[in-house]
């Protein structure tokens, strides 16, 4: 018999003695008084029994609360064996609590829904029995709801992009929302690229190409190539920007025999902050950096073929791998399995899985990548991309930064590889960086 049971045993004996003494004492007085008094005493004893059986109804413990958009999820530990359920109390000020719900026996979780956005709530829980017994309360747990679910950036109609107003992209560079438009027609050599771009990294791997098939429109395109090499080689065109929302559209084409099974990066990249060397994750507190590269590489997925499925290569505060995560439109993440959007749907309510997209080699595609940095403290950031004007992937509800000074500060064209066993090559044309959706070129002149 444990101490609690011993205590209860002693209480019961004491109560029995009281009843006996009541009957004995009252039996010496008038019978009428005896019955009435005894009933009163018994009621008091019953009340005593009921209220004191709280000693046996252990309080739940370890209450924790987690807030999402307009709901808070509670969990606690059930420490009682004969409760009929648990009562949940809620407060806005941690002083005045009111009961908001009861849940059944052995239940250890509850979701308080329909709450105000961006609001702090306090909770405590106790166990109860149907006879009116209640335990003492758990600890008070508090959580704050986040902003209401953001509406993902609307997908523009085919005719709604900036490019729809500039057939053949003619004059698109003068649009007030366009930061850079480059068709590579103005250059005779690579050194001139910095007239429009902030920096060209490793120009020895970059060429202005004029051969048939190396340009989407006009007479020239941008060629990037990597020779066979045992070490990592790469090149990039970098445009410095400073803001929270950018779109970058690029026509791109992989050479017909393109194949690289090693570490390969190629495509459109947005980054903010001071990026760390490979293998160093972005700080989890959201004050460091983020990097998102829309690319195609082989990563062992079913049905895969060169150049590999579209995906985002991500360094961000919630990355699961030190060497960056690969996000696919269907919600999976290599090397971590399911993305956060599939594992925690309540935190990513606007995420919709889409089929993965595998481009072909030796064919031009119009890729457009969008980044929207979140409002600090809110999960309203977003990445999405389009292929030939068709929405292909959408990652809303992202929280990629905690401070407003961490902004998108570079838009890049990236091409690089490590341990190449054959030379690889890719062509690029008609690049536009803008603050609004661009869309494919209207009436291309080929």
Interface residues toward Ca ion, by CB under 5 A: 183-184, 215, 218, 220, 429
Q: How far is the CB of 281 from Ca ion (least distance, A)?
A: 38
Q: How far is the CB of 194 from Ca ion (least distance, A)?
A: 18
Q: How far is the CB of 444 from Ca ion (least distance, A)?
A: 10
Q: How far apart are CA 215 and CA 364, in angstroms?
A: 9
Q: In what order do the strands lie in the sheet with 199-201?
A: 199-201, 233-243, 408-417, 264-273, 289-296, 310-315, 325-327, 332-334, 337-338
Task: Specify the residue, 380 or 429, whose C-beta has the smaller distance to Ca ion.
Answer: 429
The residue with tokens 């370890």 is: 62
Q: How far is the CB of 269 from Ca ion (least distance, A)?
A: 21
Q: How far is the CB of 185 from Ca ion (least distance, A)?
A: 5
Beta bridge partners of 273: 289
Cβ neighbors of 200 (< 8 A, separation 6 or more) are 190, 193, 194, 206, 235, 236, 237, 238
Determine how many CB atoms are found less than 10 A away from the CB of residue 6: 10
Q: Are 71 and 109 within 8 A, CB to CB? A: no
Task: Specify the residue, 124 or 215, whose C-beta has the smaller distance to Ca ion.
Answer: 215
Task: Specify the residue, 183 or 325, whose C-beta has the smaller distance to Ca ion.
Answer: 183
Q: Are 333 and 232 within 8 A, CB to CB? A: no
- Angstrom CA distances, 412 to 180, 293, 294, 404, stand at 12, 9, 11, 22
Q: How far apart are CA 60 and CA 140, in angstroms?
A: 12
Task: Specify the residue, 88 or 217, whose C-beta has the smaller distance to Ca ion.
Answer: 217
Task: Specify the residue, 181 or 312, whose C-beta has the smaller distance to Ca ion.
Answer: 181
Task: Specify the residue, 137 or 184, whose C-beta has the smaller distance to Ca ion.
Answer: 184
Q: Which residue is nearest to Ca ion (CB)?
A: 218
Q: How far is the CB of 258 from Ca ion (least distance, A)?
A: 20
Q: How far apart are CA 220 and CA 18, in angstroms?
A: 104
């Amino acid at each position: 018999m444990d101490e609690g049971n011993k205590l209860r045993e002693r209480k019961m004996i004491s109560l029995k003695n009281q009843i006996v003494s009541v009957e004995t004492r009252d039996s010496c007085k008038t019978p009428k008084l005896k019955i009435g008094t005894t009933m009163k005493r018994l009621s008091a004893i019953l009340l005593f029994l009921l209220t004191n059986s709280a000693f046996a109804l252990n309080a739940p413990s370890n209450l924790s609360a987690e807030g999402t958009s307009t709901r808070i999820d509670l969990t606690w530990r059930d420490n009682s064996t004969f409760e009929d359920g648990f009562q949940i109390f809620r407060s806005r000020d941690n002083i005045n609590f009111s009961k908001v719900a009861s849940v059944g026996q052995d239940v250890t979780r509850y979701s308080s829904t329909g709450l105000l956005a961006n609001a702090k709530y306090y909770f405590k829980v106790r166990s109860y029995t149907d006879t009116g017994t209640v335990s003492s309360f758990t600890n008070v747990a508090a959580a704050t709801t986040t902003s209401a679910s953001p509406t993902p950036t609307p997908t523009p109609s085919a005719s709604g992009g900036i490019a729809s107003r500039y057939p053949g992209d003619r004059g698109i560079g003068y649009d007030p929302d366009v930061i850079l438009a480059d068709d590579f027609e103005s250059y005779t050599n690579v050194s001139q690229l910095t007239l429009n771009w902030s920096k060209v990294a490793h120009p020895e791997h970059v060429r202005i190409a004029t051969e048939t098939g190396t340009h989407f429109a006009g007479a020239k395109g941008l060629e990037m190539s990597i020779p066979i090499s045992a070490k990592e080689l790469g090149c990039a065109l970098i445009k410095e920007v400073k803001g929270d929302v950018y779109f970058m559209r690029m026509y791109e084409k992989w050479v017909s025999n393109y194949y690289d099974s090693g570490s390969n990066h190629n495509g459109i990249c947005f980054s903010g902050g001071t990026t760390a060397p490979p293998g160093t994750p972005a700080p989890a507190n959201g004050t460091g950096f983020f990097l998102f590269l829309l690319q195609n590489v082989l990563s062992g997925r079913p049905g895969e073929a060169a150049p590999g499925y579209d995906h985002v290569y991500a360094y961000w505060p919630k990355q699961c791998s030190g060497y960056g995560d690969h996000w696919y439109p269907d919600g999976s993440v290599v090397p971590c399995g399911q993305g956060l959007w599939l594992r925690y749907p309540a935190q990513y309510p606007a995420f919709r899985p889409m089929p993965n997209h595998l481009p072909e080699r030796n064919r031009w595609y119009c890729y457009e990548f969008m980044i929207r940095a979140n409002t600090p403290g809110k999960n309203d950031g977003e990445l999405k991309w389009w292929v030939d004007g068709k929405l292909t992937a959408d990652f809303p509800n992202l929280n990629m930064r905690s401070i407003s000074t961490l902004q998108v500060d570079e838009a890049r064209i990236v091409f690089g590889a490590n341990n190449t066993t054959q030379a690889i090559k890719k062509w690029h044309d008609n690049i536009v960086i803008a603050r609004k959706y661009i869309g494919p070129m209207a009436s291309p002149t080929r």
